Structure 1
Amino acid sequence: MSVSPAVDAWSAEGSALADGRRVGVLLCHGFTGSPASVRPWGERLAEEGYAVAVPRLPGHGTSWQDMNTTTWQQWYGEVERAFDTLLEDCDSVVVGGLSMGATLSLLLAADRGPEVSGLVSVNVSIDNKDPRRFAAPVIKRLMGSFPGIADDIKKPGVSEHGYDRLPLKAAHELLRLYRHLRPLLPQVTQPLLVVRSAEDHVADPGSHDLLLRSVSSRDVTEVVLEDSFHVATLDNDAPRIEKESAAFVARVTAGPS
């Protein structure tokens, strides 16, 4: 199935910084969303001279039926591929993401250790207390989808170009991703910028607390957004995310003085 340019992967080559180093940033979109949800964020970081990669995760940007044929390993594999491509040309790479994109970024940080220079998490999703989760293996065989979760955005007239249905087989894969990641969170030691919306109608509120008490990072900065919902990267506080993350990337990738 063809992919609209509005929801396809996006990248910027970047340029060498004043001291000759090249810095890369990998940004990942969320579950049933698309690169459109984080592309403006990436474009702002590209203006700082950073090389930026915004991959389109398998099953996203086409149809929810397509997504029901994918696995979390495929989503993560695309994130690793984009990360390795940045590493080929950059001296340092920071990873970040929105919702499930932050989940996958955490897994990458746990797996790749010092290759990841820092991590930006926006409204992370690593926990789910919905009682229907226990029935997911059965429900996914009886129904193809539930009503969608896209576009939880306070700002009027803005869309992340996600699916209007939540594919249930893929949702079960998301639960498997959570179970795989949670025991690995103590392996996350990188500097961490944690951004969360005070009002979020998608991510389980326990995700933020679980993240903070589980990682081993000593350099942790928290930012609370008061004027955005879940897709904060397109919401009223997007400029703050862009400003805070640009400063964070500059700090954690700074060369020796």
Structure 2
Amino acid sequence: MPVLPGAEPYRHEGGPVGVLLCHGFTGSPQSLRPWAEQHAAHGLTVSLPLLPGHGTSWEDMQVTRWQDWYAEVDRELRLLRERCERVFVAGLSMGGALALRLAVKHGDTVQGVVVVNPANKVHGLSAYALPAARHFVRTTKGIASDIAKEGAAEVGYDRVPLHAAHSVRNFFRLLDGELPQVTQPLLLLRSAHDHVVPAVDSARILSRVSSTDVTEVVLEQSYHVATLDHDADRIFEESLAFIGRLAPSVGKEGTAAVG
């Protein structure tokens, strides 16, 4: 199945500081492409992979599970570590959850974590119905393009495959138990109005991690896909400042100055 236009993975060879960006559930790299390009323009080495089963059709996603998505970002992070002196992980929604697990599993080799509207739980009755319903119903309504900005759109699926949704539920439950192992500096940005992931998810993550260097930023003008919304520039600026503070080599030879 061909990749949807705009959903292609993105990579940029820059300086000794690298960042891995993880897109969300049923989404694609398109939702983070401006973020990735902004970091590349400031001299960072950037990796923005396409998660298995994403960016093509929901039928492809139906046969993938969280282990497949995590294995992809884990592989990309290992490659990034081979060519960079310092690496950071970042993500949107479920991608934020993937980034947090990378921080758990890779420990001190990850210098910092940036998450935007990170997901921590499948909420509502659907969470309880999923184990049984997935055997009788293939899909439910999609969650893509929760964006306040007029004319902006996310390349994502209009249907959510329930087998994959059940798998992401299991992943969130696993990660919740691992969050106390997150010790790296953490920048969490969340939208004041999010119709996909409630604010309680961010609050739960902040209460569970062991990081002592924690910054929370509230985005007042954006919905869930804030990286394509009114606050996108704020996200990029906060992220670059966060990385620049923790990686002094940003701004030296081989990279452009952060600002």
TM-score range, shorter chain: over 0.9
RMSD value over aligned CA atoms?
Answer: 1.3
Q: Find the counterpart in structure 2 of residue 59 from structure 1.
A: 53
Find the residue that maps to 2:135 and give its secondary structure. helix
Find the residue that maps to 2:193 and give its secondary structure. coil
TM-score if structure 2 supplies the norm length?
0.95
Q: Is the 8 A contact 1:128 1:204 kept in 2?
A: no
Mind listing any 5+ residue stretches in structure 1 that lack a counterpart?
A: 16-21
1:140-219 correspondence to structure 2 within 5 Å: 140-219=134-213
Which residue of 112, 116, 135 maps to 2:110? 116
Which portions of structure 1, spanning 4 or more consecutive aligned residues, are displaced by more than 3 angstroms?
none
Identity %: 52
- How much has 1:5 moved relative to structure 2? 4.6
Aligned residues: 251
Find the residue that maps to 2:195 and give its secondary structure. coil
1:127-173 deviation line (CA, Å, top 9, x unaligned): 23312211101111111111100000000111120001111111001
Q: Given the alignment of the two structures, is residue 89 of structure 1 paired with residue 58 of structure 2, yes or no?
A: no
Q: Find the counterpart in structure 2 of residue 19 from structure 1.
A: none
Find the residue that maps to 1:38 and give its secondary structure. helix
Find the residue that maps to 1:141 and give its secondary structure. coil
Q: Find the counterpart in structure 1 of residue 8 from structure 2.
A: 8
Q: Find the counterpart in structure 2 of residue 101 from structure 1.
A: 95
In structure 2, distance between residues paired with 1:5 and 1:166: 20
In structure 1, distance between residues paired with 2:154 and 2:14: 25
Q: Given the alignment of the two structures, is residue 254 of structure 1 paired with residue 248 of structure 2, yes or no?
A: yes
- How much has 1:4 moved relative to structure 2? 3.3
1:150-208 deviation line (CA, Å, top 9, x unaligned): 00000011112000111111100110101110110000000000000000000133211
Q: Which moved more, 1:198-207 or 1:228-237?
A: 198-207
In structure 2, distance between residues paired with 1:68 and 1:75: 13
TM-score if structure 1 supplies the norm length?
0.95
Q: Is the 8 A contact 2:49 2:76 kept in 1?
A: yes
